[in-house]
Amino acid sequence: MANSESALTRSDRFEVKGPSAVAGAYAGSYSTLYTFASNNARVSGTVTAAPESNKTGCAPFTGTNFGGRWVMLHWEASGSDPSCDSARRFANVAAANGKGVLMVAPENDDRPIAGSTTIPGVLISRATAQTLYPAVKAGTLEIELGAAWRNTALTAKGPDMLAASSARGVHGSDGFVKPDVAAPGTNIYSAGAGSGNQPFRLSGTSMATPHVAGIAAQILSKEPFLSQQQVKARIMNTASQEVRTISGERLGVDRVGAGRVDAQAAVNERTTAYNTQNPSRSLYLLG
């Protein structure tokens, strides 16, 4: 199973209320520990920049009073590894009378942050930070977060791509081409354990596999007498969606198998090509 990244990514939305030059909706990732008072609750505030000497927020803001404003922090300083977790950073901001955190993500890493139960926060990309920073520096950036805005921002990323961590190559024992197919497995939202009705975003082959299991279940709901080999072949036969590199080059079968799965095509297809003499050997050449 290959782990592909969708051309679209879903994330949380936050709004910039001012200044007008940068006002509008932006994509981010809300800190996971903060709980809104109700589904309609919103939090807002003016954002200021952390002192350059402590822009990660890992050290206490001794002698600083943020005056109830949000604080822009950077997860890492000059490309170095972070020296602390988000809990300490949020605690340091709160101790200096900060109301929330606008956290700039490390490059090519937008995993969610835990943050704090006492003050809210949102993780933003470096590109978004560059757009908003002049207003932050001027002390004029006004932002708002809302419980109803979770998972409502869709951002285009380009072509369907393969996750860097996805497995590759042939089967070590039999020389079979593996993986068989690719499925969306990066930035997948599922039910967050212990979060009430909140989602949680995860990535990996373990998130791609449920997509394929769901397709198999739908196929069997329409054709319950198919064998497991026939279901596998049906999924591979219809996995015609190309998966590419970040530069747009098409990936080969040793990286994505037959291609990215197509649920609708797999369920609606009525012809199955597979090795009837040895069904377990139905591989990509029949895809």
Domain CATH code at residue 213: 3.40.50.200
196-202: average pLDDT: 72
Q: Domain boundary at 154, 171, 193, which?
A: 154
Main-chain phi, psi angles of 141, to 5 degrees: -80, 120
| CATH number of 98's domain | 3.50.30.30
- Render pLDDT for 103-156 as a digit per residue (tens, 0 to 9): 999 876 667 899 999 999 999 999 999 999 999 999 999 999 999 898 888 777
Most confident of 186-195, 208-217, 268-277: 208-217
Whether residues 231 and 140 fall in one domain: no
Q: Domain boundary at 126, 154, 182, which?
A: 154
51 belongs to a structural domain: yes
Does this model's pTM top 0.75? My answer is no
Whether residues 177 and 117 fall in one domain: no
| CA 245 distance to own-chain centroid | 18
Residue 22 in this model has a pLDDT that exceeds 60: yes
Whether residues 33 and 145 fall in one domain: yes
pLDDT band at 287 (very low <50, low <70, confident <90, very high): very low
Residue 201 in this model has a pLDDT that exceeds 60: yes
Whether residues 17 and 142 fall in one domain: yes
Range(s) of the domain holding residue 192: 161-268
Whether residues 80 and 194 fall in one domain: no
279 belongs to a structural domain: no
How crowded is residue 26: how many other Cβ atoms within 10 Å of its Cβ?
20
Q: Rounded to whole angstroms, how far apart are CA atoms 107 and 84?
A: 17
- Helix/strand/coil percentages in the chain, nearest 5: 25, 25, 50
4 belongs to a structural domain: no
First-to-final CA distance of the chain: 14
Using DSSP, state whether 144 is helix, strand or coil: strand
Tokens 């996805």, located at residue: 166
Whether residues 150 and 58 fall in one domain: yes
Total domains, the chain? 2
Q: Mark out the alpha helices in the chain (DSSP H runs).
A: 86-95, 126-138, 205-222, 228-237, 253-256, 263-268
Using DSSP, state whether 243 is helix, strand or coil: coil
Whether residues 127 and 179 fall in one domain: no
- Render pLDDT for 25-65 as a digit per residue (tens, 0 to 9): 999 999 999 988 776 689 999 999 999 999 999 999 999 99
